[in-house]
Structure 1
Amino acid sequence: MPRETPVRIVDELASRGYNTDREAVTLLADAPDTDAAIERALEAVPDDAVKLSVEDVRDVLETNAGNVDRSRGRSDTHSSSDSGERDPSVSSGDPSLESSHDRGAVPPETEGVESGSGDGNRTRRERDPSEPAIAGDVTGRSTGTGEYEDFVAVFRDRYEKLSGQLRGRVNHRPTSAVESMPGGSEAAIVGMVADIRSTANGHWLIDLEDTTGTFPALVMKDRDMADLVDDLLFDEVIAVEGTLADDGGILFADSIHFPDVPRTFEPSTADRAVSAALISDVHVGSQEFDADAWNRFAEWLHTPEADRVEYLLLAGDMVEGVGIYPDQDEELDIVDIYDQYEAFAEHLKAVPGDMEIVMIPGNHDAVRLAEPQPAFDEELREIMSAHDARITGNPSTVTVEGVDVLMYHGVSLDEVIAELPEDHASYDHPDRAMAQLLKKRHIAPQFGGHTRIAPEERDYLVMEDVPDVFHTGHVHKLGYGSYHNVLTINSACWQQQTSFQESVNIDPDVGYAPIVHLDKLDESDASDFLTIRSFG
Structure 2
Amino acid sequence: MPLETPARIVSELTSRGYNADREAVTLLSGADDPDAALDAAVERAPDDALKISADHVETVLAEFERADTSVSNGNEYENNPVGETSPPQETKGVRGNRNTGEVAQASKATDAGGVTDAGEVTDAGESTNAGESTNAGDGVGENVSDVSRPDESIRDPDLDERSLEIEGDVTGESTGTGEYADFVSVFRDRFKRLSKQLRSRVNARPTTAVQKMPGGGETAIVGMVSDIRSTTSGHWLIELEDTSGTYPCLVMKDREFADAVDELLHDEVIAVEGTLSDDNDDGDGILFVDSLYFPDVPRTYQPSTADRHVQAALISDVHVGSQEFMADAWSRFADWLHTEEAEHVEYLLVAGDMVEGVGVYPNQDDELDIVDIYDQYEQFSEYLKEVPGDLEILMIPGNHDAVRLAEPQPGFDEELRDIMSVHDARISGNPSTVTVEGVDILMYHGVSLDEVIAELPDDKASYDDPHKAMYQLLKKRHVAPQFGGKTRLAPEEEDYLVMDTVPDVFHTGHVHKLGWGKYHNVLAVNSGCWQEQTAFQKSVNIDPDAGFAPILDLDTLDMTVRQFS
TM-score (norm 1): 0.78
Deviations 1:261-281 (A, max 9, x none): 011100100000100000000
Deviations 1:480-534 (A, max 9, x none): 000000000000000000000000000000000000000012xxxxxxx110000
Any residues of structure 2 matched to 1:242-281 within 5 Å, and which? 242-248=274-280, 249-281=285-317
For residues 382 and 210 of structure 2, the distance between their equivalents in structure 1, rounded to whole angstroms, comes to 62
Task: Determine whether 1:101 maps to 2:140.
Answer: yes
SS of match in other structure, 1:278: strand
Task: Determine whether 1:333 maps to 2:362.
Answer: no
Q: Which runs of 5+ in 2 are unaligned?
A: 1-20, 27-53, 59-131, 143-150
Task: Determine whether 1:184 maps to 2:213.
Answer: no
For residues 208 and 485 of structure 1, the distance between their equivalents in structure 2, rounded to whole angstroms, comes to 30
Q: Is the 8 A contact 1:259 1:441 kept in 2?
A: yes
Q: Which amino acid aligns with 2:495?
A: D
SS of match in other structure, 2:459: coil
For residues 181 and 74 of structure 1, the distance between their equivalents in structure 2, rounded to whole angstroms, comes to 77
For residues 445 and 121 of structure 1, the distance between their equivalents in structure 2, rounded to whole angstroms, comes to 46
Q: Which residue of 1 aligns with 2:559?
A: 530
Deviations 1:107-145 (A, max 9, x none): xxxxxxxxxxxx975541222276510000000000000
SS of match in other structure, 1:170: coil
SS of match in other structure, 2:555: helix
Q: Is the 8 A contact 2:317 2:528 kept in 1?
A: yes
For residues 212 and 246 of structure 1, the distance between their equivalents in structure 2, rounded to whole angstroms, comes to 22
Kindly name which structure, 1 or 2, has the bigger radius of gyration based on alpha carbons.
Answer: 2
Q: Which residue of 1 aligns with 2:272?
A: 240
SS of match in other structure, 1:387: helix
Task: Determine whether 1:298 maps to 2:334.
Answer: yes
Q: Which amino acid aligns with 1:96?
A: N
CA positional deviation for 1:175: 0.2
Deviations 1:225-281 (A, max 9, x none): 110000000000000000000011100000100000011100100000100000000
Q: Which amino acid aligns with 1:495?
A: Q
Any residues of structure 2 matched to 1:364-443 within 5 Å, and which? 364-443=400-479
Which residue of the other structure, out of 199, 211, 214, is the alignment partner of 1:167? Answer: 199
Q: Which residue of 1 aligns with 2:45?
A: none
Deviations 1:134-192 (A, max 9, x none): 00000000000000000000000000000000001001000000000000010100000
Q: Which amino acid aligns with 1:535?
A: F
TM-score (norm 2): 0.74
How many residues end up aligned between the 2 structures?
433
Which residue of the other structure, out of 168, 174, 187, is the alignment partner of 1:136? Answer: 168
Q: Which residue of 2 aligns with 1:153?
A: 185
Q: Which amino acid aligns with 1:408?
A: Y
For residues 122 and 131 of structure 1, the distance between their equivalents in structure 2, rounded to whole angstroms, comes to 22
Q: Which amino acid aligns with 1:460?
A: Y
Deviations 1:451-484 (A, max 9, x none): 0000000000000010000000000000000000
CA positional deviation for 1:97: 3.0
For residues 399 and 163 of structure 2, the distance between their equivalents in structure 1, rounded to whole angstroms, comes to 26
Q: Which amino acid aligns with 1:165?
A: Q
CA positional deviation for 1:75: 7.8
Which residue of the other structure, out of 215, 231, 238, is the alignment partner of 1:199? Answer: 231
SS of match in other structure, 1:224: coil
Q: Which amino acid aligns with 2:482?
A: Q
For residues 222 and 387 of structure 1, the distance between their equivalents in structure 2, rounded to whole angstroms, comes to 59
Q: Which residue of 2 aligns with 1:517?
A: 553
For residues 312 and 500 of structure 1, the distance between their equivalents in structure 2, rounded to whole angstroms, comes to 29
For residues 129 and 222 of structure 1, the distance between their equivalents in structure 2, rounded to whole angstroms, comes to 56
How well do the aligned residues superpose, as a CA RMSD in angstroms?
2.2
Task: Determine whether 1:445 maps to 2:481.
Answer: yes
For residues 365 and 299 of structure 2, the distance between their equivalents in structure 1, rounded to whole angstroms, comes to 48
Q: Which amino acid aligns with 2:458?
A: E
For residues 452 and 57 of structure 2, the distance between their equivalents in structure 1, rounded to whole angstroms, comes to 48
Q: Is the 8 A contact 1:194 1:209 kept in 2?
A: yes
For residues 75 and 272 of structure 1, the distance between their equivalents in structure 2, rounded to whole angstroms, comes to 33
